[in-house]
Amino acid sequence: MKKVLTTCPYCGTGCMFYLVVDDDGTLVGVEPSNEHVVAKGQLCVKGWNAYHFVNHPDRLTQPMIRRNGKMEPASWDEALNLVVSKFKETQAKHGNDSVAFFSSAKTTNEENYLMMKLARAVFKTNNVDHCARLCHSSTVLGLAATFGSGAMTNSISCMEQADCILVTGSNTTEQHPLIGSRIIENVTNNGAKLIVADNRKIRLARLADIHVRWKNGTDVAFLNGIMNVIISEGLEDKEFIKTRTENYEELKKIIADYPPERAAEICGITPKEIVDVARMFAAADKAMIVYSMGITQHTHGVDNVKSCANLAMLTGNIGLPGTGVNPLRGQNNVQGACDMGALNGVFSGYQKVVDPTTREKFEKAWSVENLPAEPGLTITTAIDAAAEGKLKALYIMGENPMMSDPDQNHVREAMEKLEFIVVQDIFPTPTSEYADVILPAASYAEKNGTFTSTERRVQPVRKAIEPVGQSRTDWEILCDVAQRAGYDGMKYNSASEIMDEVATVTPIYGGVSYERIDQVGLQWPCLDKDHPGTPVLHSGKFARGLGMFSPAAYLPSKELPDEQYPFVLSTGRCYFHFHTGTMTRRSQMLDREERFPYVEISIEDAKELGIYDRAWIYVATRRGEVKVMAHVTDVAKKGVLFMPFHFEEGPANLLTINALDPIAKIPEYKVCAAKIRSAE
């Protein structure tokens, strides 16, 4: 048996574990790492089972090309030459921006860096993006505007040091289980106060000192109401506001419109709940905000994030252990994919494409000319452009928009209109059914590289076994495409050489190298080879200098319940599955635990409608209808439905609305109007 220390391919918590390989070179198990700072000898159920899918018979093992409407095996030469010639042909006919590249939060930092380099340096377009657009683009923009850096301010270990934790829009014990465990330990062992603001009675809510079940989408009113109480009762941190922030008068002006009575009415809760939360949060020495996609996935997602930042600054809870604004990133490397510039408007390290000095720097480093200056299409706007016939070709690495993007019929229309689609992945997906070329990629267990966890920790990914069949690592495929397109600047002997290049052009990764991240990783910013990394951001000074109060007024969600569609539908994940289910649904243990698509419905609603637990029902919105199993539960609040989006046979995103935050372009996955009927 051989044991290889690597990083979990599922959530952004970033547990490291050992992959266990037998003498035949077959993956046979996973063992936790006792030494790892986050895992501490533990794993959640997904981590324990993170080896099953690797050898699943469905793995893509050979390149495929669509010929006469049918996918047929092809050689790597044929497939890659076709990709390059089709992309070049499309650009010659329709311009550089007629093609787009979807990078992936599941692939390594090195591969994301190369995808954005391929798009920008070789194909001269900023049409490159990845699924952070669908989960935390509002965090990146909201926290950059207020603090100057769009990442989790503190470390996971800080969860054990806070005196009060406000968890909002995060089902932490299910989505980031080991972070959830830290919170539970702090509450039960140290008596830390826990406030949960969530419509659902999630597991943490059962332990909370206060559980507020506001109406979905009223976060800004709720947070403004809390700040109103803090200011009117003189509980704000006056010294912090004076010395560390700006724009406070503007905040006060807007917040004055949200006395607890008005905020409570908007939120559908009592004024007392708002007052109690405000007093508890403001009274703590070290108070922390933890949030996830319940905050970000709204048409006012950026406003929600800014409001969390406002509350933290108002109470002086930034820059110290046990405090901060802590967005929990969903996928293993969504933080890293953002850091690497797999976003439409920035190079690696969030260096803006519109800045001529930055472009000049990258032109020099990459030995190219005329890098495109305007931000490109995002994942969401690229789908719109394809549906309108403006975007012609799409290269999709490790993404599954047919399952993950809102309003599946709209995505289908886009896929059908595209003239050429490349899908590079480890498994066939609903998206690959539309591909003209399929490129088989190596899994995380078959390659070297790095992932960056939610706490900005850059950690190693190590090859434990050989790639299956003819599959190749994503970075090798991308380099091959670049060379066939006539570019010589993407030749590397190893993933480590790519990271060395990243470090030279990306100040926040300036001191990162494979030698230094060998066992526990390094938290960025890590500016040079002697820099120890940064567990807590904004100590003494914000990344932008002063923290910017950015008040927001409450705006209702785009589609609210009415007579015809009386329920609010919210979507998300469940404990046993991950994202579009590509990997977890191919793990027999995980799929056995949660096998059918389902909707959570409250006991009251189920009684009224005569729906019993595990009955099949139809959920419909203005976009379509799906058949799912009813989970009748007190987790759900009356009038609100919750559906996970992992199930191809009951796709939640057939129902969701394609309404976007105007700044972050993130879809409103958490609120749309729905109705239900029995299927039996």
Query: Taking the complex as a whole, how short is the minimal distance between the CB of residue 630 and ligand SF4, in angstroms?
Result: 27
Sheet strands (E) in 483-566: 522-523, 547-548
Identify which of residues 463 and 573 has a Cβ nearer to ligand SF4 in the complex.
Answer: 573
Count of C-beta atoms within a 10 Å radius of residue 519: 13
From the list 60-68, 175-183, 238-246, 268-276, the region that binds ligand SF4 by CB under 6 A is 175-183
From the list 12-20, 315-323, 432-440, 616-624, the region that binds ligand SF4 by CB under 6 A is 12-20
* Contact residue for ligand SF4 among 5, 8, 295, 308 (CB under 6 A): 8
Q: C-alpha 496: how far from its chain's center? A: 25
Identify which of residues 43 and 152 has a Cβ nearer to ligand SF4 in the complex.
Answer: 43
Q: Between residue 41 and residue 100, which ones bind ligand SF4 under the rule CB under 6 A? A: 43-44, 46-47
* Contact residue for ligand SF4 among 6, 10, 118, 513 (CB under 6 A): 10
* Contact residue for ligand SF4 among 6, 13, 473, 602 (CB under 6 A): 13
Query: Taking the complex as a whole, how short is the minimal distance between the CB of residue 588 and ligand SF4, in angstroms?
Result: 17
**φ, ψ at 641 (rounded to 5°):** -110, 150
Identify which of residues 156 and 227 has a Cβ nearer to ligand SF4 in the complex.
Answer: 156
Query: Taking the complex as a whole, how short is the minimal distance between the CB of residue 638 and ligand SF4, in angstroms?
Result: 31
Q: How far apart are CA 45 and CA 34, in angstroms?
A: 17
- Which positions from 18 to 47 touch ligand SF4 by CB under 6 A, shown as an x/- string? -------------------------xx-xx
Query: Taking the complex as a whole, how short is the minimal distance between the CB of residue 150 and ligand SF4, in angstroms?
Result: 21
Is residue 177 a contact point for ligand SF4 (CB under 6 A)?
A: yes
Q: Are 558 and 659 in contact (CB under 8 A)?
A: yes
Q: Using alpha carbons, select from 342, 352, 395, 396 the residue that is nearest to residue 372.
A: 352
* Contact residue for ligand SF4 among 27, 54, 178, 308 (CB under 6 A): 178
* Contact residue for ligand SF4 among 5, 14, 425, 474 (CB under 6 A): 14
Q: Is 527 exposed, middle or buried (0-12, 13-18, 19+ CB in 10 A)?
A: middle
Is residue 445 a contact point for ligand SF4 (CB under 6 A)?
A: no
Identify which of residues 43 and 255 has a Cβ nearer to ligand SF4 in the complex.
Answer: 43
Is residue 15 a contact point for ligand SF4 (CB under 6 A)?
A: yes
Q: How far apart are CA 127 and CA 101, in angstroms?
A: 6
From the list 8-16, 279-287, 291-299, 670-678, the region that binds ligand SF4 by CB under 6 A is 8-16
Q: Are 490 and 482 in contact (CB under 8 A)?
A: yes
Query: Taking the complex as a whole, how short is the minimal distance between the CB of residue 579 and ligand SF4, in angstroms?
Result: 11
Query: Taking the complex as a whole, how short is the minimal distance between the CB of residue 585 and ligand SF4, in angstroms?
Result: 15
Query: Taking the complex as a whole, how short is the minimal distance between the CB of residue 456 and ligand SF4, in angstroms?
Result: 15
Q: Are 475 and 362 in contact (CB under 8 A)?
A: no
- Which positions from 134 to 173 touch ligand SF4 by CB under 6 A, shown as an x/- string? ----------------------------------------
**Residue 608, C-beta contacts closer than 8 angstroms, at least 6 positions apart:** none
Q: How far apart are CA 63 and CA 60, in angstroms?
A: 8
Cα dist from 123 to 50, 94, 372, 438, whole Å: 35, 13, 10, 20
**Residue 238, C-beta contacts closer than 8 angstroms, at least 6 positions apart:** none
The DSSP letter of residue 8 is -
DSSP notation for 120-146: IIIS----EE-THHHHTHHHHHHHHHH
Query: Taking the complex as a whole, how short is the minimal distance between the CB of residue 139 and ligand SF4, in angstroms?
Result: 18
Q: C-alpha 359: how far from its chain's center? A: 27
Is residue 392 a contact point for ligand SF4 (CB under 6 A)?
A: no
Q: How far apart are CA 591 and CA 585, in angstroms?
A: 5
> How many residues in the shown chain lie near ligand SF4 by CB under 6 A?
13
**525 prior amide bond cis, ω within 30:** yes
Identify which of residues 51 and 549 has a Cβ nearer to ligand SF4 in the complex.
Answer: 51
* Contact residue for ligand SF4 among 5, 11, 229, 674 (CB under 6 A): 11
Q: Are 462 and 16 in contact (CB under 8 A)?
A: no
* The pairing of beta strand 393-397 with beta strand 99-102: parallel
3 state SS of 479: helix
3 state SS of 37: coil
**Which residue is nearest to ligand SF4, using beta carbons?**
47
Identify which of residues 34 and 493 has a Cβ nearer to ligand SF4 in the complex.
Answer: 34
Contact positions toward ligand SF4, by CB under 6 A? 8, 10-11, 13-15, 43-44, 46-47, 176-178
